[in-house]
Structure 1
């Protein structure tokens, strides 16, 4: 221990005299006890005193003999409030240290008096708890697993669940924090699916009636099987309609399943028919008459179509397979004779009164005609349809027909004897069409043009070669002649001579009359026609440039429409005179013109009754008047 002396008063410097012979102010290395010291100043004044040294008591470090630390946790050790620290075994020199591992830890501390003391403690770590049993867990695909961890107060799973039981079907890492009231524990598990194996027993199947079908589920991945009937083989024989299902368990205990529908298929009903004999001009059709649209076929000829045609005597068979693979067979024996061919020849034609014989050529034993004859020929003398069926020694029949045509050629009609006008060209032509023509002058066409009098004959021939003839007499006569045409004042007067009376007259070629004059015509160019009793015709053009319009009626009833009798064009004739008479010849009205003529239907200022009245119109002094009638309608 050390002693530190402090002097109060006196005159320095001071001298020190210790009991042990030391002469310094402060001394060290003394143990507990009393020690004498004399101190003198510069005036040689002194003081003597006794110094008592008492040793200090060392402090105790506050460390427990042992500590418990949670697994994977941290513990802090605190040595207390000292000046110096020396920890072991980690050689740290701080008041506190963090402990990560269990073990014996010690510390030496020095206080402010330089006193030292030491202490040690044992740190124990709680054991790790494997809460999730295994680091990796395998489960079957599409299945789930449940982890139950009892004995803790609090839980936190990777899906934020806080229950003691955790269920999942997800692959990957999953974790758990659990607290038991003292420590938190952490654990992880990796969930991995076993390889997935799917059992397959194929598509829906068909089984033929009276047969069975094998349904096989065998695969290396599976250890056991369970069918719908509780059988445990890797295969199943099905022989009736129904659902077939299997559950297969693989070597990891995972279960998969599959199912299909088995349909019992009846065999096709086919019928080629009874054995038969045919007279075949064409191949014979063989048809099994099955009803399956998706069936397949195999014939004895090697063909695979639904039907075949054959033309030889033979035995034929067919196998019909339906979509289920069911096979049905049938056989038929055919005897096929060649079909005879019967030809009566070309159709027959002959002229009226002719005849012919129709023969059947070939080796036949019976004949049947449609005219009730049974020999190999018939005699025909009229038009008709004739057919025959002939049968040979094999019983094969053939039929043919022939048409017989008896010509009914009629005489050509050229018309009746005719009188023609001078210089007229007449066309002779029969009413019907013929195959060939022959006129008396050698002309071969269907018609001739006649310009001379005489007898004309025609011979015609049809396609059969039959002929017919007829003739006609043609005479010529002199026609009429137009001597004069007087036109003016809306009328045309014709003078005629010659020809054969009576005459017919026309100014347009369509409308004919027996009068030789035309009235009430408008101005224009006219062709006047004259035709005599022999239809000889002559024509001449004339121009009419004076026209008046005389209405046939008017209606003076005051309605403002057609109230006046107006003769249009009369102004062209300043000397014109118009007179109107009743049916008794009484003159009712007279007009002398130069202006338009207008009459209101009145007599001495009074309306005349509805009736027909006569008029006389004289256009010029030297011209004859023309007359007519006009009707008043009220």
Structure 2
């Protein structure tokens, strides 16, 4: 039996309705992110590795997803795994909030500067609803923060050998290391020997095999783009010849004599280079296996070495031989070169010497002093003194050697120099230590001689403050820790008939007192309560200033009434130093100071809650539609539809926000029902948004436009049991209004 076209259409419509319901119950599908073409570069090939640097760091990833739609406040977040491909602590690469209706789009991202590795993966996460895509394939990702050629040398010393050649003798080894890269230990390296990649990955490598060695930074697939390939060091090996200088390692030569230094290998066409104290003195010369040291030449003493090179042997350096003068010795003056002698004093001068059998002779003003033949001399007169020492032992007889000269003077006066010996800043430090740092003896012609070490313990001292003695301060150091003792300090000292005076040092110590100001508000608004700044310190007997943005605005009022925005402070001047209070910032009232983390029109799912959090204000009050206070915290969890009021206080100012909460439709208004009495889809059921609300009117019309049903607070009860349908398939029209405003309208098909 054939079904009528009308019946067939009705079945197709019902099937479409059921299929729509099935699709509507599906969840969003997030697909694996994929590398994408950079639209700002030429070419059309997606990247295969991320090789970022300070010069280029712009990459794109394509992403697509399937509906149903996400929430309006959803965000899509592109995340990066760790170097092993795990997402325990992912790194956020990019975030978008304007793609909630776009099913295929691209993320743009920059690679963080600390990323290096070959197994990084990406994924995309949505926030509302909370879903995560599958991870991408693994990729090499490197931020190339060093892209200059490396330079390698032995032990990273920076000394690259001539021709890049290092020779190893006798089975030894050498360590190669870069010397031109900061934080070298934080990188991974590729070491090569004659083109073969070695297993070592550290910053240095110890080698003993011959070959051509070089290195680059291991940036994985990005290594070639980094341009870090180093210079080449050639390692060659050979046999030690046992090179040495014949004879003793320590040689003494008398003045005017010569000494022949001779290598123990000769006559084979080798090249020799002779060194003194590390500097070349002869060569390189073929067969120059000897070198003559001439004691008649000034400065001949030193450490001598010879280096040999040639076919079949290693370049080798001998052990050193030390050459000295047999008659040489040292003489040291044990006193200072300048001595001040007071009329009542005597001084003892002395010298020491390394001579083995010395004799001494003292001189005053260039003339020998009779019977002054010891290593010490007691003096009581001014003049210029020195000693001559003669070496009388050994194989050589050198000329006498004179010590340095000591000048002994008698002072015309003394002066003191005092200074701060602890860190001191005027009107900032709360204590300071002053001390004598130098005593100068001043001659009659004004020449100053530092005699601090000689006389500082011989003076008597007295500190003065503004010219008055400071009781009990009779040492060369004074510590001041009270603002009441501010002023100018000098140090006076006396010795014999002399009195010395120092320079003057000014002390301005800050007070230890803390100055605190308070306020009844920090936001200034028109018509609000006046903002007043107060101090707990009594200002009636103080010199003070109220400052706004560093400018004085009042110097007579105990409490300051604020008349404008800015940064306010109170300054009291005490003992010439200011005491500065804390800062209070007064800002202009602005409703934008109140920040909500979600729109004030909230849509929630019935049975669930959504939290709205406010910030920026001093206090908060939440009220329901009945003007009942429901919370005083900065957030509230909404679970019911309705209008709510948030009152936020900023000092004496307030901001009010009306919050509207509505339920989200979980399904659309049905347009097909089957009124056949089987208990399935017999009634026209509306979403909670429109049903059982006394303010919502539901009206149904027949196909001729006649009203057949009208109900406020619809109870999901149409068609009623008394309703009759005289056709197999009948179409009705509905209209849903609130307060006369149309909310929804459409058709209902009733299948019997």
Normalized against structure 1, the TM-score is what?
Answer: 0.21
Bigger helix fraction: 2
TM-score (normalised: structure 2):
0.19
| Higher CA-based Rg | 1
